């Protein structure tokens, strides 16, 4: 089963918009076992669209089309599809109701231009657009399937996920597909791969594993395909449990969770508070924590102590510690965490001190050297890290590592 | 003059990599007056590459190819191009020297696999790759130009900018092309467009203007094409000066500058220091400031005062101000800025207090309401903003607006 993608829109060819749709479609088609053979991007030009459809039809079984469904006259995909399938537009009541509902919600009345968006080619099965006014269209001819979707990414993605992909799996008898993304922190991709090698090798054939590395974390995506939904859900659950036993310290969350939301939820659950004393992370940890809605419930505040003077005056770091060990040292980072915890009266505190770079490194303390402390009601835990050479990534990695240390204490 | 882009690589079709190259190439070809007609992404498959090249040749004058130039055996673009042009690979001494130099720099010795990267089709003009081991290739046949480039974005971009685009402009007699991007802050796209309407209408025909909005700022890109480089440089300079007179307060920088680097440079130049007292921005301003290398020269530190208790205890905000006006008020934000400036002994200080959302809004103070103060050695300036409903964007916009207020005081 071979698919092709055709993306239509002048904005793609002049570089105003990066085509992120195709990669998403390619990934998701691939996950249900359908290979994408070619992606073709063309402008809103009648002849070019017709020719591209014709060529794609000779090569592929499924042709997925995005874009060119807007209400303005430069959007000609719908009329060109009519021409391609030798049919005409008909008014669709359900599509119109959807348009009306969306306009009502936004407080507008439907214009003639938008009313026309409810028209679809007579030979297609319309697909509801839950997030916008342009319906999708499903065509079948000579054992080939054509699907036309809006180009707006979140409209297309919802339509694909909720309607088109299930329709493919049902129609082509591909079975159900379940994903679970496991988020890990504190371990590099190659070391992680080595650690879970046996588990990976023993995965059932119906489960696929993908490594998705990001700065400061590695995501593991499990995908299972099968005909019995409960069974494959079970299968994934089983493998996740095995993995949790194998690397309990690295897994911090699932799917769309973030380190800061996971930590926030734990603090809320325990009705505990936190403060931060940041040197090398320069406010990044406080920023991550406060990017979560409702974080004022558990986050009290922070002292960003970039200069040693502030470390002494505001956090009670001893002058002799600074002199004897330097600002990037176990002694100083401990005093920072204990200082802020006492001063701000929080249950937990986090502190960081390191050399983010690009300057300031030495043989003894190269760029990337970072000390992190978490102080709890019972104890003070300190860890030394050696990140890389890139300032931005060092700051981000230190912030994630610090939050992860706090998470471990909260468990 | 019509161009087409062919991107080669399995990773594009399975969605592992988003094709950002094509948009960049499309934009930059368009800027020198060459229209991109089609983008085709295909896998590393010999027959498919040959067929796609053949089809593209019937439609376009210029065919730009990226990807498939790596040293491993799945990368077959080079041998397939040999087949297409009915030629053979020859060893290129310059390309080899480049590979050797890169390996030497990284402390490796050249393997046989990498040595083969110095081979190029006999009929092409090799193009040096300043950032990698795979040379580019320039072919001409029957008045058509084919250019093959590596798929790694920064290798391709450098090659395009420094060698291929100038070669097109020279060969096709397109003249020189100069860009200047003007960065503005504190004004929305439509209001900005209205304000500079007359200036825009009076732009010489040889200058094109593009609006490039980003969260919290609008970039204006001027592009001039002409045969006399000094003349078009002059032309752009002239228009920039006119614009500066028109909107002196909105323009904060050029090209790749950032608000935090511009503010940092001003502080360094004046040998002045800054501190921040952040409520709604939660450390975002400190994070932006400290993301600039060398910021410890002028940034002393910050107090993130998320709870009112910290605003009182650490920043000297009066209990009666909090009670009478609330935390999100002119009185409180002034006391915060003056408090941190005094406490941290800095020349300047910034403070923020607002409702980032999604909760916490009221009729009187809706989500997005934000007070910002900048305290200087002479005075304290406060401004009220009403941003939008999106928490993340509100925080970022407030941080940029605050840094911009500081920038204005530093001028």
> What average pLDDT does this structure show over B110-122?
90
Residue of chain A minimizing CA distance to B289: A282
Give, in order, the Cα–Cα distances in Å from A11 to each of B1, B234, B255, B312: 19, 30, 22, 52
pLDDT at site A216: 82
| H or E element at residue B149 | strand B144-149
Flag whether pLDDT at B188 surpasses 90: no
Residue found under tokens 């190659």: A190
Q: Cβ A290–B310 below 8 Å, yes or no?
A: no
Is there a single domain that holds both residue A235 and residue A122? no
Q: Cβ A18–B13 below 8 Å, yes or no?
A: no
Is there a single domain that holds both residue B154 and residue B128? yes
Mutate to test the interface with A, among B41, B346, B349 (most CBs of A within 10 A): B41
Residue after which a domain boundary falls, among A171, A190, A211: A171
Token pair recorded at residue A310: 């502030």
Is there a single domain that holds both residue B164 and residue B187? no
Q: Cβ B283–A304 below 8 Å, yes or no?
A: yes
Give chain B's mean pLDDT.
94
Q: Cβ A395–B290 below 8 Å, yes or no?
A: yes
Is there a single domain that holds both residue A98 and residue A198? no
Alpha helical stretches, state H, A32-132: 46-59, 77-84, 93-106, 112-115
Residues 6+ apart with CB under 8 A from B391: A291, A293, B356, B357, B358
Surface-to-core class of residue A69, CB atoms within 10 Å of its CB (0-12 exposed, 13-18 middle, 19+ buried): buried
Give the pLDDT band (50/70/90) at residue A345.
Answer: very high
Quick: pLDDT tens for B2-24. 999 999 998 899 888 899 999 99
Q: Could you tell me the CATH number of the domain that includes residue B34?
A: 3.40.980.10
Q: Measure the CA–CA gap between A321 and A327, rounded to whole angstroms.
A: 8
Q: Cβ B282–A300 below 8 Å, yes or no?
A: no
Flag whether pLDDT at B75 surpasses 90: no
Q: Could you tell me the CATH number of the domain that includes residue A246?
A: 3.30.70.2860
pLDDT at site B31: 85
Q: Where are the beta strands (DSSP E) in A265-379?
A: 274-278, 299-305, 348-354, 369-375
Residue with the larger pLDDT of the pair B212 and A394: A394
pLDDT at site A110: 85
Q: Measure the CA–CA gap between B5 and B42, rounded to whole angstroms.
A: 11
Quick: pLDDT tens for A152-190. 998 999 999 999 999 998 898 877 778 899 999 988 888
Quick: pLDDT tens for B212-251. 878 788 999 898 888 888 999 999 999 999 999 999 989 9
| H or E element at residue B278 | strand B274-278
Closest CA of chain A from B89, distance in Å: 28
Residue of chain A minimizing CA distance to B3: A13
Q: Measure the CA–CA gap between B388 and B379, rounded to whole angstroms.
A: 29
Give the pLDDT band (50/70/90) at residue B275.
Answer: very high
Name B139's bridge partners. B146
Q: Cβ B24–A15 below 8 Å, yes or no?
A: yes
DSSP labels for B384-409? Answer: EEE--S-HHHHHHHHHHHHHHHHHHH
Instruction: Tell me how many residue pairs between chain A and chain B have CB atoms under 8 A apart.
Output: 212
Give the pLDDT band (50/70/90) at residue B389.
Answer: confident
> What average pLDDT does this structure show over A182-204?
91
Quick: pLDDT tens for B340-362. 999 999 999 999 999 999 999 99
Which residue from B39, B309, B392 is facing A12, i.e. has the nearest CB? B39
Going by the DSSP 8-state scheme, the letter that residue A121 receives in this structure is E
Give the pLDDT band (50/70/90) at residue B190.
Answer: confident
Is there a single domain that holds both residue B156 and residue B78? yes
Query: What is the pairing mode between strands A144-149 and A217-226?
Result: unpaired
Inter-residue contact A337 to A405 (CB < 8 Å): no
Mutate to test the interface with A, among B275, B304, B358, B396 (most CBs of A within 10 A): B304
Chain A neighbors of B13, CB-CB under 8 A: 26, 30, 35-39
Q: Measure the CA–CA gap between B114 and B295, rounded to whole angstroms.
A: 41
pLDDT at site B363: 92
Q: Cβ A358–B39 below 8 Å, yes or no?
A: no
Q: Measure the CA–CA gap between A160 and A167, rounded to whole angstroms.
A: 9
SS3 at position B222: strand
Residue of chain A minimizing CA distance to B344: A310
Flag whether pLDDT at A106 surpasses 80: no
Is there a single domain that holds both residue A397 and residue A279? yes
Is there a single domain that holds both residue A128 and residue A205? no
Name A382's bridge partners. A373
pLDDT at site A212: 81
pLDDT at site A230: 92
Surface-to-core class of residue B113, CB atoms within 10 Å of its CB (0-12 exposed, 13-18 middle, 19+ buried): exposed
pLDDT at site B143: 94
Chain A neighbors of B6, CB-CB under 8 A: none
Surface-to-core class of residue A397, CB atoms within 10 Å of its CB (0-12 exposed, 13-18 middle, 19+ buried): buried
Structural domain that includes position B53? 2-171
Q: Could you tell me the CATH number of the domain that includes residue A308?
A: 3.90.950.20
Quick: pLDDT tens for A298-336. 999 999 999 999 999 999 999 999 999 999 999 999 999
Is there a single domain that holds both residue B233 and residue B354? no
DSSP labels for A357-386? Answer: SSS---SSS-TTEEEEEEE-SS-EEEEEEE
Give the pLDDT band (50/70/90) at residue A227.
Answer: confident
Quick: pLDDT tens for B233-242. 999 999 999 9
Quick: pLDDT tens for A58-98. 999 999 999 999 887 788 999 999 999 999 999 999 999 99
Percent of chain B's residues with pLDDT above 70: 100
Is there a single domain that holds both residue B196 and residue B151? no
Smallest CA-to-CA distance from B279 within B335, B388, B352 is with: B352
Smallest CA-to-CA distance from B302 within B253, B267, B337, B251 is with: B337
Report phi then psi at A115, rounded to 5. Answer: -60, -35
pLDDT at site B17: 87
Is there a single domain that holds both residue A129 and residue A188? no
Q: What angle do CA A40, A124, A152 make, to 5 degrees?
A: 45
Give the pLDDT band (50/70/90) at residue A238.
Answer: very high
How many domains are there within chain A?
3
Quick: pLDDT tens for A271-302. 999 999 999 999 999 999 999 999 999 999 99
Q: Cβ B25–A40 below 8 Å, yes or no?
A: no
Residues 6+ apart with CB under 8 A from A278: A284, A285, A286, A302, A303, A304, A305, A350, A351, A352, B283, B286
Quick: pLDDT tens for B135-182. 999 999 999 999 999 999 989 999 999 999 999 988 988 777 788 999
Q: Cβ A19–B19 below 8 Å, yes or no?
A: yes
Quick: pLDDT tens for B254-270. 988 999 999 999 999 99
Residue after which a domain boundary falls, among A171, A204, A237: A171
Give the pLDDT band (50/70/90) at residue A16.
Answer: confident
Give chain A's mean pLDDT.
94
Residues 6+ apart with CB under 8 A from B359: A293, A294, B367
Is there a single domain that holds both residue A313 and residue A188? no
Q: Cβ B38–A40 below 8 Å, yes or no?
A: yes
Closest CA of chain B from A393, distance in Å: 10
Q: Measure the CA–CA gap between A323 and A329, rounded to whole angstroms.
A: 11
Residue after which a domain boundary falls, among A226, A254, A282: A254
Q: Measure the CA–CA gap between A68 and A61, rounded to whole angstroms.
A: 22
Chain B neighbors of A354, CB-CB under 8 A: none
pLDDT at site B298: 98
pLDDT at site B209: 87
DSSP labels for B30-41? Answer: HHTT-EEEEEEE
Flag whether pLDDT at B72 surpasses 90: no
Q: Measure the CA–CA gap between B390 and B387, rounded to whole angstroms.
A: 9
Is there a single domain that holds both residue B167 and residue B181? no
Chain B neighbors of A34, CB-CB under 8 A: none
Length of chain A as a residue count: 411
pLDDT at site B300: 98
Q: Cβ B304–A306 below 8 Å, yes or no?
A: no
Residue found under tokens 């249900």: A32
């Amino acid at each position: 089963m071979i698919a092709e993608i055709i993306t239509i829109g002048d904005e793609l060819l002049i570089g105003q918009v990066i085509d992120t749709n195709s990669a998403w479609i390619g990934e998701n088609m691939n996950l249900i076992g359908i290979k994408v053979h070619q992606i073709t991007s063309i402008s809103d030009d009648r002849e070019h669209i017709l020719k591209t459809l014709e060529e794609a039809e000779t090569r592929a079984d499924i042709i997925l089309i995005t874009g060119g469904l807007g209400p303005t006259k430069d959007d000609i995909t719908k009329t060109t599809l009519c021409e391609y399938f030798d049919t005409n537009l008909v008014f669709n009541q359900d599509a119109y109701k959807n348009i009306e509902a969306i306009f009502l919600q936004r407080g507008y009345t439907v214009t003639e231009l938008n009313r026309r968006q409810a028209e679809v080619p007579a030979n297609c099965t319309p697909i509801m657009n839950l997030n916008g006014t342009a319906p999708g269209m499903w065509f079948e001819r000579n054992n080939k399937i054509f699907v036309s979707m809006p180009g707006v990414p979140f409209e297309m993605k919802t339509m694909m996920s909720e309607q088109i992909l299930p329709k493919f799996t049902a129609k082509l008898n591909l079975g159900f597909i379940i994903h679970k993304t496991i988020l890990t922190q504190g371990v590099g991709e190659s070391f992680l791969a080595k650690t879970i090698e046996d588990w990976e090798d023993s995965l059932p054939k119906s489960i696929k594993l993908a490594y998705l590395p990001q700065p400061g974390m590695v995501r593991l995506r499990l995908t299972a395909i099968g005909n019995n939904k409960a069974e494959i859900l079970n299968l994934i659950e089983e493998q996740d449990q095995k993995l949790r036993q194998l690397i309990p310290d690295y897994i911090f969350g699932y799917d769309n969770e973030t380190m800061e939301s996971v930590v926030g939820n734990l603090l809320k659950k325990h009705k505990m508070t936190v403060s931060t004393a940041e040197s090398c992370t320069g406010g990044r940890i406080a920023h991550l924590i406060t990017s979560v809605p409702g974080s004022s419930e558990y986050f009290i505040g922070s002292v960003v102590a970039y200069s040693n003077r502030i470390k002494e005056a505001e956090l009670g770091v001893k002058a002799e510690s600074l002199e004897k060990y330097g600002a990037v040292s176990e002694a100083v980072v401990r005093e920072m965490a204990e200082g802020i915890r006492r001063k701000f009266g929080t249950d937990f505190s986090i502190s960081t001190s390191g050399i983010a770079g690009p300057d300031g490194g030495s043989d003894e303390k190269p760029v990337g050297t970072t000390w992190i402390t978490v102080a709890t009601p019972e104890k003070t835990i300190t860890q030394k890290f050696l990140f890389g050479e890139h300032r931005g990534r060092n700051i981000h990695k230190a912030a994630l590592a610090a939050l992860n240390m706090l998470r471990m204490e909260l468990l």
